[in-house]
Structure 1
């Protein structure tokens, strides 16, 4: 049976030039390189310049993804930006990206699901592309999480960094099997009763301020391992694949211990798990495409490979996506 799939045809990423090491943080907050690495696996993170908004990072990643797909901004008819740190309350950062790229009038909007945002945004793009409403979609995860940090809180400020990653998604004809190129299955979840585990203590309609990130790390860890494993199992069922069919596991880069906990729970081969958390820290919605791009560029992930993505973030939101590149 012939079907239209939403295929990932281009991948790109961008990291700000400034690198902040654990030793740099130890100069102004009570912490150490050993303390951070032991608990998180993080060695460094990137930080955007004061004059470098989230849209700038998104544009750089988008340009690289378009070049990888052999497309130009003139081809783009859908832009979805997953971000927790928009340039402004409104308009959507996606419309600013549209203007900066020089794209024609098209569909452009943001998705807010915090660290799960990129997986959510991919599912939304699939709804447009696979149904013929878009032919060249840009799905971008872009974050400047350092803007939300309370730099006196060593339990959170050491965890996050800035960056952006992007996929180009286009329609491809398939046969309705797991051998098709394209997005094969999703599992998305949310539990608003767990809001107090991970949130920012500000907003336009409450404090009138941006606020700072707050987290109950131990509880987030416990929910992450169990919930992500369940979503991955459900995603594989939706995609009609087995865990053994997966060539590469590209998780949200939140914490090395969470990544290992999920992998152990599912019996994943550690050599198939892509990790960039040591170099990037937690870049929220940007972490999955950043890690994906790194693994493509170093030759690990190749065309035809089965890839599994997962993430969990504030909300709580979480989810997984399986696709053949």
Structure 2
């Protein structure tokens, strides 16, 4: 970092989860049971949904969750919403295809004029959005930014079970309701003065899926990949497809490459990291996949004891996973001032990773 660039500090975090936690017993009543070994492998005990599980009606919205997470982050940071001059959001499940959700969020914050950007992505989206905001603040183009990862995946699950006999639902269709949850996480970033120490030290972003089919794909939902009348005639108007076999094979290599690139971009050794936020990083199946792929690298072995995530409590939440875990780490005291924190998100949709290293300043 040169003297002309401003350090970017994380000033506060916030989170929003809709409704009360939904346990596995409640999901079993909706879609039927999973074999115990599969349920243990998922490791999700509770999740939150914006939908009413009995009717499928919406009780919240993506932009509503994002707004509540941002308001909490601003309050904790001691920053007034009027001081925000950049809003960057990441989501794969926006309220509408257009306008971007970031514009609705700025409106909810009472900002008549504000720069807004949106990253359409899943798990890696928040880290990508964070890096976009960092670049604006670092160069002095903006002063205060809010960055949000927010997902409402539960509406995509409704056609699988509402009005259906749980025992007649196929086993492969039961996986997603057990696995996915809704939620939003947010951070407030502020630009310091040139020459100040601390802040975000580097980021690494890459799509490494060239020549490889997506491991996760959302069909329908008004996309333009096929004629709309064909989409409407499909068995499910929206379908989230996850290739578990390919995920198990390829994810370890993406993690190893992403971790190595993130540490290099941040200029830190793995041993110097105090906390590594990696969604699903503590799942037993992941270590098994890494071992099977020969990807238990020295970097991984060094950071593994420091991995923090909250998958069991909130489920897989896409763009919201990293900021929800980061907020949980702060609230529970798992991270302290001046800690070196590495964020790493892996996305199977088209095999992406996003990583950031920062010194904790909140």
TM-score calculated relative to the size of structure 1: 0.92
Structure 1 portions without partners, runs of 5+ = none
* CA shift digits 1:36-56 (9 cap, x unpaired): 542121111111140311000
SS at match of 1:71: coil
Matched, 1:222 2:241: no
Instruction: Rate the CA distance shift 1:275–1:323 in 2: closer, same or farther, 3 A.
Output: same
- 1:183-202 matched pairs, under 5 angstroms: 183-190=200-207, 191-202=209-220
Map 1:105-184; keep pairs closer than 5 Å: 105-149=113-157, 150-151=160-161, 152=169, 153-173=173-193, 175=195, 180-184=197-201
Aligned-partner Cα distance in 2 for 1:292–1:63: 16
User: Which residue of the partner structure matches residue 204 of structure 1?
Assistant: 223
| Structural RMSD (CA) | 2.2
The structure carrying a bigger strand percent of its residues is 1
Question: Which of residues 21, 24, 36 in structure 2 aligns to 1:22?
Answer: 24
Q: 1:70 to 1:315 in 2, by over 3 A?
A: same
Among candidates 294, 307, 318, match of residue 353 of structure 2: 318
Aligned to 1:46: 48
Deviation at 1:308, TM superposition (A): 0.7
Q: What are the equivalent positions in structure 2 for 1:242-281 lying under 5 Å apart?
A: 242-253=269-280, 256-257=283-284, 260=287, 265=297, 266-268=300-302, 270-281=304-315
Give 1 or 2 for the bigger CA radius of gyration. 2
- Kept after mapping to 2: 8 A contact 1:23/1:32: no
Instruction: Tell me the secondary structure at the aligned position of residue 6 of structure 2.
Output: strand
Counterpart check, 1:213 vs 2:240? yes
| Per-residue Cα deviation, 1:260-309 (whole angstroms, up to 9, x for no partner) | 46695410355421120000110000011111111111111111111111
1:59 match: secondary structure: helix
- Hey, what does 1:103 align to over in structure 2? 111
Unaligned runs of 5+ in 2: 52-57, 162-168, 232-236
- Scaled by the length of structure 2, the TM-score of the pair is 0.83
Q: Distance in 1 between matches of 2:131 and 2:266?
A: 13
Q: State which of 269, 274, 292 in structure 1 corresponds to 2:326.
A: 292
State the alpha-carbon separation in 2 of the partners of residues 131 and 258 from structure 1.
42
1:282 aligns with 2:323: no
Asked if 1 retains the 8 angstrom alpha-carbon contact of 2:276 and 2:303, the reply is no
Name the CA shift for 1:59/1:192 in 2 (closer, same or farther; >3 Å): farther
Aligned residues: 322
Q: Shift of residue 252 of structure 1?
A: 2.4
Residue 93, structure 1, aligned to residue 101, structure 2: yes
Distance 1:23 1:187, change over 3 A: same
Give the whole-Å Cα distance in 1 for the aligned partners of 2:122 and 2:186: 16
